[in-house]
Structure formats: structure tokens, C-alpha cells
Structure 1
Amino acid sequence: MPYTYKHPRPSLTVDCVVFGLTGSSLNVLLIQRANPPFKDQWAIPGGFVDMDEALDDAARRELQEETGIKNLFIEQLYTFGGVNRDPRGRVVSVAYMALVRQEDCQPKHADDAADADWFPVGSLPKLGFDHQEILKMAHDRIRSKVQYQPIGFELLPRKFPLRDLQRLYEIILNREIDKRNFRKKMLNMDVLEELDEFEQNVSHRAARMYRFNRRKYQQRLKEGFHFEI
């Protein structure tokens, strides 16, 4: 026989902050809400958790239902429980974060989303709920984490020139990085694999291509290696 609680219980939602990268900006995936509250405003993809659903499963389901994007690696960011964060009632949200290769993720709005699109994190529309706060925390997390874990490679094509890798860090950290020191540090880490391939169809001198060797990185971690930018 189901147990009956005598106290009111809050509803539970999940929200997914998805970051992508273009040539000049770090971007976030947003949906335009089709229904109240905050109808027609932009927001982070998300929704209510089903009673028989794990949190991670709910986050992936909501992301797929509202944007058409699936099979993403996601990680929990933080739990947001402000009393008045949702005008529909007492709602607690578990926020997630994901990094994707933007060219591989073309969003298609569905379910209760009127639209879905990428926006530069430095030029966002007004967001519904407390999603500005959620997005700020996610942005702070990626700027911190990218300096001590190789998560930035999730935003790049699998093969890339060192110039694009340096630009990625400059965009996320919002500062210039010395080219010579950066390349020396990255190559000395011994986690990049030099390829016998060069850029194609470029107007400048074609640069050599590299790729991140995840297996070697995991092996180096066991040896006490610390990734640091």
C-alpha cells in the first residue's frame, strides 16, 4: 500500500545547459517556450521528472523532446531550489551541463518548444524562470574546469590545428594566450597525437592537424599527471 505523506511536496524538474563553440564565440542552446509561464521567452531546455524516471534519464529525454538532440554526455551542475523560482508553484530543479561539437548538433524544436537555437553566451535574450542564474553558474563552471580537465576537446572537431585549440581557450577564458608558451605546454603534456594531415581549403598556410588521445590521457592520470592550462 503506497505511503501517504502528510506534508506538501515540491515538484522536480531538470534543466540542461548545452554549450557549443563557433569560430569566435562560446554558445548555449536555448528553446523558445510555446506555453505559459514565460510563453515566447527563451529558456534552457528542460521539464518535469516523471515519477518512474531517474534524473539523468529525465534530462536526456527532455533535451531530445525539446531540441531533437540525443546521446549527449551530461553531468550534474547544481540544484536550484529558490522558493519563488517558478510561478506554477514550489519547484526544485536539478541542472545539468553538456559540451558538444556544435556542427554535429542541429537543434529541431519539438514538444512544448516553439523554437530552438544557439546564442552567444555574451549576447543572450531575456530568459524565463531563474535560467540566467543557472546559465551563469554553468558558464563559471566551464571556465574553471577547462583549466584543469581536458573538457575543451569536446567542443572541437576530432581533428584540429593547434591554432583552433588555442582560440578555444582564449574564447572560454576571455583573454589572450601567448602562442609559443601555449603550444609548448600542450605538446609537452603528451596527450595530443600529431597526424600526417594538414588543413584543407584554407587561404593561409595549411597547419598540421592533431587529435586528443583520450587513452593516453587516462594512462597518464594513473601515473600522477595533472592537466593544467
Structure 2
Amino acid sequence: MQMSKKKQESLEMTEQEFLESYDSSQYERPSVTNDIIILTTENKEEENIRKLPRKGMQVLLLKRKEHPEKGCYSIPGGFVDVKEGLMEGAYRKLQEETGIKNVYIEQLYTFGTVERDPRTRVITVANMALVPKENIVVQENNKYETNWFWMEKKQKEQAETSHHFVRKYQLSLISEDNKVVMEYEVMERIKKSILREKEVSYQLLEESTHRLAFDHYSILDHAISRLRNKVEYTPIAVYLLPPLFTVKELQYVYEAILGREITNFRRKIGDMIVETDEIIEGRPFRPAQVYKFNENWEHEF
């Protein structure tokens, strides 16, 4: 095959000459955004004030006041500056929205469906931040109304065909004042193969008062799955607690993440935590031994 004249000339250039002559407009470039899923836990109401309250998962969402998706709720995020790295942009956006920094953030997944944003071709890098609720001071923003939502994913049905496992879940997002309800049916079809390819579909349920913008229901679903998976082999849950905590407080964080109660919890976490000399007092419930994360802990398969 004969090489084009332009290709031949480029091969004869130095790299500096090539870069100086490079035309970046010859390719269409998508926009890139960072979305920051800010997750925390909050105490649930407990009738017996002498008992330590159980916890539930919460996520910070913004009500959009401008087009596109005006009136819908979205994950905090924004366009990536061309002169900043992805994680640098994620930390910047987190600080803008909550006023906090130096917290745990990890990249979750990249979402790039062609028509996910009606404005233009937008690829978003979803990030997950885990922060104790008491550390968060949400910043006022004229563009958005900010709300904390209780978030829960529960399995409703399970079936099996000759080629697939089929699981139906309900993803629920309810505002703290109970005025905003967003319920999604999540249908997973998992192929019976070594790779376990998974197809997922989402449907907004009739009892919903609002909906999530763009494909943010999928992003939140991915965050729940990632978090539930990682608590099985990492100490990621401790990022949702202060440095010192009780075993019961840690257990309730685990249960909030997994969406179920855990038996024999202390035995299961083993030496992930270590005792301190402190005792928590001054609360309605009885004093309890205080623990901290064991920095020498390693997961064994």
C-alpha cells in the first residue's frame, strides 16, 4: 500500500516539528465531566433513646434550576478544566460543593453512552467520596437546591432461565423531609458464562414525585454495587466514621451499606480494628469500648 504524501512528511519530521504542525481540530472532541457521588451515613430515628440508633446511607443531590433537565435531581459535578487532571478536578469540585478536602475519593466508572446528555457528546468520570456526615458543610449555590437523600437498594425478585440469572431490585431515594421520592426498578440479566456479562435496565416507578437527571440512576447504582463489594475485602467503611468509634457503630455502618443485618460481626472483622484506652460516655446508652482502625491490617483471601 502506497503511503500518502502527508504521512510520509510526518515521518520525516522531528517530534517537535510534528507537534508544532499537529491540527487538533481534525478530530471531534467530546466534553468531559467529573461527577462526585458524596456518600455518608446518618442515624435513623430510634424510639428507645437508650439504644444506639441504626444508620442509613445518604447521598447528596442537587435540584437543577436551569436547562437541561431543569427540575430534576443530579449528582454534583462539572466540566473538567483542560489544564487539570481528573482526580485534581474531582477534589476541586468536591471542595466547591461541600467545603471539604483531604477525604477518600476513588474513581468509580466512566459513562459514555452517546445520547446521555442532550447538549452535546459528554463523557463523565464518576467518582465516589465517603465522608462522615459531621464533616460536611454544604456550600450555598444559587444554581442548585441541595438535599440529602436516604438511599437504599433492595432485591425484590430472583429468577433463572436456561441462559440467564434474572434479578429485580428497587432503588429508592427519599429526601430527609420525605417530600421528594424517586423510585427505580432495576432489572439485571446475568449471562451464565465465565465472564458473567450483565445487562441492566432502569424504569422510573409511578410513586415517584421527581426523577434523576441524565443517567444518574445508573451512576448511583454502580456506586452501591462498588461499595457493597469493597466492604467485603477492604476497610473502606471506616471512612464513614470518626477516627474513634465503637464496634456497634462500625457494624451499623456496614449494615447500612449492605442493606441487611450482620451476625457475628466482631468475629468477621477480626483484627481490622484495635482497642484504645478511651470509653465513650455522656450518652443515653451505656458506655462502650472505643476502637480505631488497625493500620497494620491486611486482607487475606
Establish whether TM, by shorter chain, passes 0.5.
yes
Asked whether the 8 Å contact 1:40–1:114 carries over to 2, the reply is: no
- Tell me, in whole angstroms, the C-alpha distance in 2 between the residues paired with 1:51 and 1:197: 48
The yes-or-no answer on 1:213 pairing with 2:298 is: no
- 1:141 corresponds to 2:226: yes
TM-score (norm 2): 0.67
1:6-21 equivalent positions in 2, closer than 5 A: 6-21=26-41
Query: Superposition RMSD on alpha carbons, in Å?
Result: 1.8
Query: If the length of structure 1 is used for normalisation, what is the TM-score?
Result: 0.86
1:127 partnered with 2:212: yes
Whether 1:226 aligns to 2:300 is: yes
Structure whose alpha-carbon radius of gyration is higher: 2
Q: Distance in 2 between matches of 1:7 and 1:143?
A: 40
Corresponding residue for 2:144? Answer: 114
Higher relative contact order (CA 8 A, sep 6+): 1
Counterpart in 2 of 1:105? 136
Higher deviation after alignment, 90-99 or 25-34:
25-34
Identity of aligned residues (%): 46
2:168 maps to what in 1?
none
Q: How many residues align?
A: 215
Corresponding position of 2:165:
none
Which residue of 87, 91, 97 corresponds with 2:122?
A: 91
- Residue 7 of structure 1 and its aligned partner are, at CA, apart by 2.9
Aligned to 1:176: 261
Structure with the largest fraction of strand:
2
Gaps spanning 5+ residues in structure 1: where? none
Kept after mapping to 1: 8 A contact 2:235/2:272: no
SS state at 1:22 partner:
strand
CA contact (8 A) 1:19 1:28 kept: yes
Cα deviations by residue, 1:173-208 (Å, 9 ceiling, x for unpaired): 111212xx221233xx32322122222222232111
User: Which region of structure 1 is more displaced relative to structure 2, 74-83 or 121-130?
Assistant: 121-130
CA deviation after TM superposition for structure 1 residue 31, in Å = 1.9
The whole-number CA distance in structure 2 between the counterparts of 1:69 and 1:34 is: 24
Check conservation: 2:104, 2:239, Cα contact below 8 A.
no
Corresponding residue for residue 40 of structure 1? 71
Contact 1:31 1:66 in 2 (8 A): no
User: 1:169 offset after TM fit, Å?
Assistant: 1.4
2: CA distance between counterparts of 1:4 and 1:175?
Answer: 52
Gaps of 5+ in 2: 1-19, 44-54, 153-171, 174-181, 183-210
Q: Which has the higher helix share?
A: 1
Q: Which residue of 2 aligns with 1:26?
A: 57
Query: CA deviation digits over 1:64-86, x for unaligned, max 9?
Result: 22343333331111110011110
- 1:191 alignment partner AA: M
Equivalent residue letter for 1:6: Q
